[in-house]
Structure 1
Amino acid sequence: MQFSFHFNSLSFILLIVFGISLVIQLIYHWGLFSKVAFYKRNARPKLDEELEPVSIVLCARDAYEYLTELIPALLKQDYPDFEIVVVNDCSDDETEEYLKDLERKETRVKPVQLKQHLNFFNGKKFPLSMGIKSAQNDLIVFTECNCMPVNDQWLRSVVNRYNSRTEIVIGYSPYVQKKSSLNRIIRFDALQNGLLYLSAALSRHPYMGIGKNLSYRKELFYRNQGFISHYTTSVGDDDLFINQTANKKNTEVLIDAEDAILATPTNNFKLWMRQKSSRYSTIPKYGTRARLMLSLFYVSQFLFYASFIALLALCARPAFTIANNAVFYIPILVFFFLLRFGTQLFIYHKASKRLGEKGLLPGLIAYDFLFAFLSPWQRLMGRMNVGVE
């Protein structure tokens, strides 16, 4: 049997690109994402007397409808000693009145009322700083108004991740499942992003966290001068701060489905695109290792699909033949494509169960293909600073 390559053809170059991107993607899935898929934690739950006091901090701007559901759920947390610090960031709705009334009834609720916007900090950084300053306890847990803990054990789960060296706990937040294509796209994006930053943290190279489910010590915040190093950036109160302060010794993860915080996603595609582009604008401020890791994943994902499509389009001029016959060319390409897809399906299935994500696997290949081309566009828009929070 004669096997020959056509070194001068465009197809050969594309074949090399396809092969390299395939290998890189397999390394990411088996070497990195598998850490979430097969994660096991055997730490002993802490007794009540071992649980230190906690301050839950969240910011609210015109979030009255969310707060009326979230705060009662937080107050039902099975935890011996905690407070809820709610920063009302110049709301125009009924938030202020609701918090004042709640404060009279519930001593654990501590409102912080902001009456005017300040230009020193952009976005949520000033309100969050005021909330952290007002917190009575060193251990701070963060969430957002459009979120909801899945059970009354969330606070215990967060604090159980702390040991003598821990200063940061990074959690995951799936979105509420709805019957819409946009909802599935948003949830797949959250899953893929979660696999990246949680796997990195499990590999002892943490680079970000999300404010929906995040915890760190007040002392860490002040020791690193809070948000001063990136105060001019409207976003990044969560990921940029964690990128600045997290290391292999002081960071733990919170990823089990029962430890999740459910978030309510937007129903507006344009708004979601603007939010994503805005979030991508923080990546250039990450450390070198994190930027390289993210760039390599997104570039190899894009090149994998782009080169595969191009190779199929050029099947009349194959990069190799067997016995002078190109009939084996397409099946071999499809085999390696399915090898990557089968790997992704297996890892994502395991990781989805771990993280509490449901209903995404039937459309996995479609969502992955979409983000292979959408993510570079969102990153470009982020670099141009066109996104808004």
Structure 2
Amino acid sequence: MVFLDVVFYAFTVVVFIQVIFYIFFFGKFAFLKPIKKRPNNIEVSVIVCAKNEAENLKNFLPSIISQDYTSFEIVLINDASHDDTLEVMEAFSEKHSNIKIVDVKNTEAFWANKKYALTLGIKASKHNYLLFTDADCKPVSKYWISEMSSHFSNEKSIVLGYGAYSKIKKSFLNKLIRFETLTTAIHYFSFANLGLPYMGVGRNLAYTKNEFFKANGFVSHIKVRSGDDDLFINQIASKTNTAICISNEGFTESIPETTFKNWFNQKRRHISTANYYKLKHKISLAVIYITNLLFWFFAFILLVTLHYWPIVVALLLLKIIVQFTVIGASCKKLNEKDLLLLIPFLEIFLIVFQLAIFINNLISKPNHWK
């Protein structure tokens, strides 16, 4: 009984921590009213780095070309592709004068390093305001550039956007991928809203060329194959220079993985970069994950043994109600409302999935950038 008492009190503390996070951290983002910004009409360079993305460029590049924006160029980076990526880029370039191609060859020092390719693309861009997305992404509206760039100001030189994944009907994996994307977005938007920005996603991210060169680009983590988006933002973002774009017209949408194996390998690469975050960010994210894990673990033990079960059920419901309220508002804000009713199941699967990734990353290093 002493052991179960310890578990019960630990469970109570975990619930308290979780409720604090949801109400005071994530809740402030969930109920944040989007501020409609006036278009800046600044000149923007849209940068797309592609490696063996010929088909995706054919499908998605037109949605960037057709953006309703006064002045922008598109910098297409061919990162040593061995398919028809370069030929597809050249075909688009012949028809559109605002497309610039940067053809990157592999070098021994930077073999298969996306950061090297991106650096060359950034140097080749002619505008100070840079907007990044991937070759398998498409803006959800023709006002994507306008919405993202509207958040730049004299103080704000970084803009964090939302990069959603397209929906696949009757696919649990798709819902799990989108739930993970949603929770990650809630985390980085919430922390940025509180003045503690720690990451962004390369599917929808903007910053100035001045910020890039002031930080010496990716030099401080050039040997880390991943992290051209989150590690760089973790390095340069601050309370004063970072803005968030949560306007639906400023979102992008990407093709999700369709097998658990591919998604597992993709997330191994992403999660491995968290080891290089600033200590305060690593501690905060670890507390969120560990308390999530312990919440379900302790709840299972206490419910199976029926130890103080009425109080345990009450605490369980308290956390779930607060979670549903906050994530429900976030789902509505980020157009992911169909995930709401599955939150407890998706959360449990995601916790186990992330634990498996952590263990695998301890055993072996993940592969990077194709």
Q: TM-score, normalised by structure 1?
A: 0.91
**2:57 corresponds to 1:67:** yes
Mapping for residues 233-252 of structure 1, pairs under 5 Å: 233-252=224-243
Quick one: distance in 1 between partners of 2:35 and 2:352? 39
Map of 1:293 onto structure 2: 284
Q: Work out whether residues 106 and 112 of structure 2, in 8 Å CA contact, stay in contact via their aligned partners in 1.
A: no
Q: Work out whether residues 64 and 93 of structure 1, in 8 Å CA contact, stay in contact via their aligned partners in 2.
A: yes
1:383 Cα shift? 4.4
Quick one: distance in 2 between partners of 1:372 and 1:281? 16
1:146 Cα shift? 0.9
Mapping for residues 152-301 of structure 1, pairs under 5 Å: 152-179=142-169, 180-301=171-292
Match of residue 14, structure 2, among 15, 21, 25: 21
Map of 2:75 onto structure 1: 85
Map of 1:94 onto structure 2: 84
**2:348 corresponds to 1:388:** no
Mapping for residues 336-355 of structure 1, pairs under 5 Å: 336-355=315-334
Match of residue 27, structure 2, among 22, 34, 49: 34
Large movers: runs of 4+ above 4 Å: none
How big is each residue's C-alpha offset from its partner over 1:337-379, in whole Å with a ceiling of 9 and x where there is no partner?
1111111111111101111213111211101112233223323
Quick one: distance in 1 between partners of 2:364 and 2:215? 26
1:235 Cα shift? 0.4
- Higher mean displacement: 56-65 or 34-43: 34-43
Describe the SS at the equivalent of 2:48. strand
Could you list the runs of 5+ residues in structure 2 that have no partner in the other structure?
none
How big is each residue's C-alpha offset from its partner over 1:86-138, in whole Å with a ceiling of 9 and x where there is no partner?
10112122211121222222111111112335433653111111110110001
Quick one: distance in 1 between partners of 2:247 and 2:113? 30
RMSD after superposition: 1.5
1:202 Cα shift? 0.4
Map of 1:307 onto structure 2: 298
Q: Work out whether residues 30 and 333 of structure 2, in 8 Å CA contact, stay in contact via their aligned partners in 1.
A: yes
Structure 1 residues 373 and 147: alpha-carbon distance in aligned structure 2, compared to 1, 3 A threshold: same
Q: Work out whether residues 61 and 138 of structure 2, in 8 Å CA contact, stay in contact via their aligned partners in 1.
A: no
Q: Work out whether residues 328 and 337 of structure 2, in 8 Å CA contact, stay in contact via their aligned partners in 1.
A: no
Describe the SS at the equivalent of 2:159. strand
Q: Work out whether residues 88 and 95 of structure 1, in 8 Å CA contact, stay in contact via their aligned partners in 2.
A: yes
Map of 1:372 onto structure 2: 351
1:289 Cα shift? 1.2
Describe the SS at the equivalent of 2:122. helix
Map of 1:322 onto structure 2: none
Quick one: distance in 1 between partners of 2:364 and 2:164? 26
Map of 2:314 onto structure 1: 335
How big is each residue's C-alpha offset from its partner over 1:224-253, in whole Å with a ceiling of 9 and x where there is no partner?
111111111110000000000000000000
1:313 Cα shift? 2.7
Q: Work out whether residues 63 and 145 of structure 1, in 8 Å CA contact, stay in contact via their aligned partners in 2.
A: yes
Describe the SS at the equivalent of 1:279. helix
Higher Rg: 1
1:181 Cα shift? 0.9
Map of 2:135 onto structure 1: 145
**2:339 corresponds to 1:360:** yes
Percent sequence identity is 32
In the comparison of the two structures, how many residue pairs are matched? 367
**2:1 corresponds to 1:11:** no
**AA aligned opposite 1:110:** K
1:274 Cα shift? 1.4
Structure 1 residues 210 and 385: alpha-carbon distance in aligned structure 2, compared to 1, 3 A threshold: farther
Q: Work out whether residues 18 and 303 of structure 1, in 8 Å CA contact, stay in contact via their aligned partners in 2.
A: yes
Q: TM-score, normalised by structure 2?
A: 0.95
